[in-house]
Chains A and B, each alone.
Chain A
Amino acid sequence: GVAPLGAVPLQKEHQQQFQLMEAAYYHMPHPSDTERIRTYLPRNPCNTPSYYIQAPLFNSDTPEFYQRLGTETLFFVFYYMEGTKAQYLAAKALKKQSWRFHTKYMMWFQRHEEPKIINEEYEQGTYIYFDYEKWGQRKKEGFTFEYKYLEDRDLN
């Protein structure tokens, strides 16, 4: 840097300020300090070699990007990144792939075939669902999906 006006020694007040700032420098704010708690994937910053990508891919926070992700990835994002934009985008992508969320079982269901019964209150048939405890897709025959448990908010 240049100091065309010449250096001027710091006044006592500024020296004191510098001391306090220097102390604060050694306990800087952490990225997680200003974020909602991440229960499952807390931030854990560490130095990674520069030849690994350092920033997420361009446009990776768009609905189009989420639609290209695998179903299992979407389920992972949905269950492990609660309350984030990522979760919202994952839910949106799952809905687009005809998955429906069951608010009582807290699991995603997809029709395996046309339901045997459809009426005002429910539909019944064979469904594929994602079991987040066993972490895999399962099939359920003769399942009754009551519409009162259907999560049908418009995600737009």
Chain B
Amino acid sequence: DRAPMGPTVHIHNGILQVRAPNYEDPPGLVEKTDFLLREWINIYNSQHQGRDSTKAFSIFVHQMNVHGILKTDDLITRFFRLSTQLCVETVYRALLDKSNANMTLIRPKCYHTLDAFVRLVSLLVKHSGDANNTTTKIHLLNKVLGIVAGCLLQDHDTRTVDFQQMPYQRIFTMLFLELNAPEPILEAINLHVLTAYCHTFHILRPSKAAGFCYAWLELISHRVFIGRMLATTPQQKCWSLYAQLLVDLFRYLAPFLRNAELAKPVTMLYKGTLRVLLVLLHDFPEFLCDYYYGFCDVIPPNCIQMRNLILSAFPRTMRLPDPFIPNLKVDMLPEISYAPRINTNISLTISPAQFKKDLDSYLKARAPVTFLSELRSNLQISNEPGVRYNISLMNALVLYVGTQAIAYIRNKGLTPSMSTIAHSAHMDIFQNLTVDLDTEGRYLFFNAMANQLRYPNSHTHYFSCTFLYLFAEANTEVIQEQITRNPTYKFWQHQFVHCAPEIEKLFESVARSCFVKTS
């Protein structure tokens, strides 16, 4: 985990406040908070308020002052913690009240309490410090998010299977919507708001709070959240933060998905994930293009559909050639000379440092041969079937060697082709992996290569040549079969293929072309 410093320091402080084993509140503070909060909820829900309760708010702030709540930072924090806990308790009481059979009436009751609290928080954030003092506002927001996150984790750990997602989800969503209202004060701090939310969601990722996973998925896929993260913020400043959240999601799902026996709760989360990916593929294909590597690195290799959604993304400005045109000259496409953007530092993933060093020197000198014979043991981490290999290292190695190969060929003034890729240190490595690995290793190796076959770019071109070369040079039929079994070809069996008529047509023609070949 990130050390509690930098931009997240106030979030972590908020969490620590709640999670500290024995925080003692000054006498009477609980009662004061309870009184003030009730007062505010009444004011908020009573009629004839200004549209955003501004007038009532200034009177209320005066009251908070009278009760000494605003005297110190510590007291303010405690006030927020106690308020969050009081609101959450109210919700639990309402939801568990069995005499109240009509759920459509219970929920609005909970919303009245939670929405009032949210409005109070947003007004306090908005009006803390001078109008132009963004720092104070951001600190307060971070603190509050940390406190709510801390309360959530505490609640999640103590109530375990009785934990309720609703109060926290509503607080997060409604506060987010309030803070994204079209007002100059809020627009000035928007990037900070988004950053604070991403850090908070990352802290609350499903592997840390599994009982919150459905609400969490809804939070990160909320239309306003996605819009702000991927569309409205200039210069794609939030893309990497959003990619991190998706990686959190894939990582969590991975152990459940790899066994392919999906229990209902997993299926539900998986389906939701696919829907989010479909939205992203449709609306933000460039985002999936840029972060495909990190995503495919954590998605288990058997999740073909998920990976295909990611790998089929291509920049909207690009016109893909029809792959079924007879004699399509891929070599002539101008796009294949451009490298795709990759937002992961692959060379850092290649570890240990000595292995990276040996790799680089082999690529340079094409010696010693022992490097090749030791390659397999560098990739293998156990003897247990199914978990023998370090998949991340395999992925990084394949892409790294490939990009180095492209650079090497270009340096010679040539372009990658079936003849220029052969007989080099790079191809030595690939051929060695093909021959020397066992079935499991080879499967992962081919997968790592297939992950690079995407829209027309230099990687796609290089790796498709490499695939064909390895196929042609293969000394056993097992290898050829394993290449052909490449999961990418099982595309058309999947539902998402039928979502658009053009795509369906495309796959029909794949099927037809395969039929022609085999008959």
A and B associate in one complex: yes
Q: Which residues of A are interface residues toward B (Cβ below 8 A)?
A: 1-8, 10-11, 14, 16-25, 27-30, 32-34, 37, 39, 42-44
Bound-state CA distance A37–B114 (Å) is: 11
CB pair B169–A2 under 8 Å, yes or no, is: no
Which A residues are in CB contact (< 8 Å) with B163? Answer: 20, 23-24
B236-252 interface (Cβ within 8 A of A): 252
CB pair A1–B210 under 8 Å, yes or no, is: no
Bound-state CA distance A21–B301 (Å) is: 23
CB pair B210–A8 under 8 Å, yes or no, is: no
Write the nearest CB–CB distance from B41 to chain A, whole angstroms.
Answer: 13
Given A5-B301, A10-B255, A20-B211, A29-B262 contact (CB < 8 Å): no
B244-299 interface (Cβ within 8 A of A): 252, 255-266, 268-269
CB pair B268–A25 under 8 Å, yes or no, is: yes
Q: Which of A7, A23, A39 contacts B211 (CB 8 A)?
A: A23
CB pair A3–B260 under 8 Å, yes or no, is: yes
A/B pair count, beta carbons within 8 Å: 126
CB pair A32–B265 under 8 Å, yes or no, is: no
Asked if B316 lies at the interface with its beta carbon under 8 angstroms from chain A, I say no
Q: Which residues of B are interface residues toward A (Cβ below 8 A)?
A: 104, 107-108, 111-112, 115, 156, 160-166, 169-170, 173-174, 206-207, 209-215, 218, 222, 252, 255-266, 268-269, 300-302, 384-387, 440, 443
Which A residues are in CB contact (< 8 Å) with B104? Answer: 42-44
CB pair A34–B386 under 8 Å, yes or no, is: no
Which A residues are in CB contact (< 8 Å) with B210? Answer: 16-21, 24
Which residue, A19, A27, A43, has most C-beta atoms of chain B within 10 A?
A27
Which residue, A4, A8, A18, has most C-beta atoms of chain B within 10 A?
A4
Bound-state CA distance A34–B177 (Å) is: 10
Given A33-B169, A34-B169, A25-B264 contact (CB < 8 Å): yes
A8-B255, A32-B107, A33-B170 known; 8 new pairs, CB 8 Å cut-off, are A3-B260, A8-B384, A8-B387, A19-B210, A24-B212, A24-B265, A28-B268, A43-B104
CB pair B264–A27 under 8 Å, yes or no, is: no
Which B residues are in CB contact (< 8 Å) with A17? Answer: 206-207, 210, 252
Bound-state CA distance A30–B105 (Å) is: 13
Given A14-B256, A33-B170, A24-B108 contact (CB < 8 Å): no
CB pair A5–B107 under 8 Å, yes or no, is: no
Which A residues are in CB contact (< 8 Å) with B170? Answer: 33-34
CB pair A22–B265 under 8 Å, yes or no, is: yes
Bound-state CA distance A8–B218 (Å) is: 29
Write the nearest CB–CB distance from A80 to chain B, whole angstroms.
Answer: 15
A-B contact pairs, 9 of them (CB 8 A): A5-B258, A8-B258, A10-B255, A16-B210, A17-B207, A22-B263, A23-B211, A29-B169, A33-B169
CB pair A27–B260 under 8 Å, yes or no, is: no
Q: Which of A7, A22, A24, A37 contacts B261 (CB 8 A)?
A: A7
Given A14-B255, A21-B213, A33-B170, A4-B206 contact (CB < 8 Å): no
Write the nearest CB–CB distance from B500 to chain A, whole angstroms.
Answer: 16
CB pair A21–B259 under 8 Å, yes or no, is: no
CB pair A3–B259 under 8 Å, yes or no, is: yes
Given A5-B301, A30-B107, A21-B218 contact (CB < 8 Å): no
Q: Which of A16, A18, A32, A37 contacts B256 (CB 8 A)?
A: A18
Write the nearest CB–CB distance from B42 to chain A, whole angstroms.
Answer: 16
Q: Which of B212, B213, B302 contacts A3 (CB 8 A)?
A: B302
CB pair A24–B263 under 8 Å, yes or no, is: no
Which A residues are in CB contact (< 8 Å) with B384? Answer: 8
Given A3-B260, A37-B111, A29-B218 contact (CB < 8 Å): yes
Bound-state CA distance A32–B207 (Å) is: 26
CB pair B165–A24 under 8 Å, yes or no, is: yes
CB pair B386–A23 under 8 Å, yes or no, is: no
